[in-house]
Amino acid sequence: MKIVHFDEMFHPEFGDQINIVTKYQVKQGHDVYIVTGDSSVIHPRFNNFADNTNMDEKDKIFEASTGVKIIRIDIIKYISGRAIFRRGYKKLIDNLKPDILFCHYNDTVIGMYYTLINKKLEYPVIFDSHMLAMASKNPLNKVYRRFYSLIVAPIIKQNKLRVIRTQDDDYVNTHLGVPSELTPFISFGSDTTLFYPDSDIKLKIRKQLNLKDDDFVVVYTGKFSEAKGGKILAEAFRQKFDSNRRVVLLAVGNTNTEYEKQVEGIFNKSNNVVLRFPTQKYFDLPKFYQVADLCVFPKQCSLSFYDAQACGVPVIAEDNNINNRYSTRLGIIKT
């Protein structure tokens, strides 16, 4: 089967859904393509968070290691994080003659376009939704939601199009008006060829970091923004823990904004050991979980908790509707 994934952003060194799903689809024997935006126009999500240099070379490495084919197309600009592509992408995808088109992000300009023209396509199209109510901060979100529920959702319902929920959240139903029977929840989990428990790696990395075997190591990976609870994490490690074991924090991520720099300042004043690391490539992350005794996500949620638990590490996460749904199944400790 030829499967074409259309996503407005793709970074070959990330651990996003499109990076993992396409790799495993090739393993299943499918012919898989990613059609995405030109890397010369950087998506706002990647600014100050990813290494955006030598992207052509990174694409080639991803293609060689996974068997996935990457096609990048021209982008005019991003508006509110949404890509505005130049004309011609539909003809390009049509010429690929896919057996199915997987259009990522149902609520983008491209997602809505393919919803509206689905009857004119010679191939089926499915969508997915990555949005959560807690992450929807755009000041015009109410206007957008009303537009989507009045114009786009009825077409989805009429044509029985599928919008896969990548998180166990009803945002696409309650805010965008898509019927629940058309929004299956399919979580893609973790790439267990990369993330798995390994006691030998644990000892090796502890030795490299000058950590003792009995140190209690806590890891956090991600942004240190206010939304992610950067200061909550930093303040929690400011005072020395009353413990017979030395407590060490591995804090992995960049600090670029003024808020994040304040978080860095609090880390520098910690009475515990805080080891700082920049944002990592997805395939360099496993060792940080494998070496740890505990993983913490102070606010919101993160798909990284799949990766941490795939490495056998328990997780502490915020008490919210997403983490509540996973806590019973996966043993997450809620705070």
| Per-residue pLDDT tens over the stretch 312-334 | 999 998 887 666 665 544 544 44
Of 281, 324, 278, nearest in space to 300 by CA: 324
pLDDT at 179: 96
Amino acid code (one letter) for 189? G
What Å distances lie between residue 127 and 23, 66, 145, 292, CA to CA?
Answer: 18, 23, 17, 36
What value does the mean pLDDT take over residues 90-115? 94
Average pLDDT over residues 122-145: 80
Give per-residue burial for 120-153: e unless 16+ CB within 10 Å, then b: eeeeebbbbbbbbebeeeeeeeeeebeebeeebb
Identify the residue with better confidence: 16 or 289.
289
How is 176-239 classified by DSSP, letter by letter?
Answer: T---GGG--B------TTT----HHHHHHHHHHTT--TT-EEEEEES--STTTTHHHHHHHTTS
Q: What is the mean pLDDT of residues 23-31?
A: 97
pLDDT at 332: 47
Mean pLDDT across the stretch 71-98? 90
Q: Give the C-alpha separation, 301 to 289, whole Å.
A: 17
Task: Report how far Cα 119 is from the mean position of its chain's Cα atoms.
Answer: 31
The pLDDT confidence band at residue 131, using thresholds 50, 70 and 90, is confident
CB proximity list for 1: less than 8 A, separation 6 or greater: 30, 31, 99, 100
Tens of pLDDT, residues 142-177: 888 899 999 999 999 999 999 999 888 889 999 999
Count of beta carbons in the 10 Å neighbourhood of residue 39: 22
Mean pLDDT, rounded, for 97-116: 94
In degrees, rounded to 5, the angle at the alpha carbon of residue 147 between the alpha carbons of residues 146 and 152 is: 115
What is the distance between the alpha carbons of residues 9 and 43, in angstroms, rounded to a whole number? 7
Q: Any long-range contacts for 308-312 (C-beta under 8 Å, 24+ apart)?
A: 308/195, 308/219, 309/190, 310/189, 310/190, 310/192, 310/195, 310/196, 311/195, 311/196, 311/197, 311/198, 311/286, 312/196, 312/197
Domains observed in the chain: 2-182 (3.40.50), 199-334 (3.40.50.2000)
Please tell me the distance from the alpha carbon of residue 295 to that of residue 197, in angstroms, as a whole number. 14
pLDDT at 140: 66
Q: Does residue 276 have a pLDDT over 70?
A: yes
Q: For the segment 254-265, what is each residue's pLDDT rounded down to a tens digit?
A: 999 999 999 999
Residue type, 213: D
Quick check: 27 and 39 in contact, CB under 8 A? no
Highest mean pLDDT, choosing among 85-89, 104-108, 205-209: 205-209
Cβ neighbours, 10 Å, residue 237: 23
The percent of the chain in helix, strand and coil, each rounded to the nearest 5, is 40, 20, 40
- Where does the pLDDT of residue 58 fall: very low under 50, low under 70, confident under 90, or very high at 90 and above? very high
Quote the CA–CA distance of 99 and 5 in Å, as a whole number.
11
pLDDT at res. 134: 59
Residue 153's region, left for phi above 0, alpha for psi from -120 to 50, else beta, is alpha
Q: What percent of the chain has pLDDT over 90?
A: 70
The dihedral formed by the CA atoms of 170, 133, 102 and 146, expressed in degrees to the nearest 10: 90
pLDDT value of position 77: 84
pLDDT of residue 135 exceeding 60, the answer is: no
pTM of the entire structure?
0.85
Per residue in 207-251, pLDDT (tens digit) is 999 999 999 999 999 999 999 999 999 999 999 999 999 999 999
Residue 107 contacts residue 175 (beta carbons within 8 Å): no
Task: Please give the DSSP secondary-structure letter assigned to residue 39.
Answer: T
Say yes or no to pLDDT of 80 above 80. no
pLDDT, mean over the chain: 90
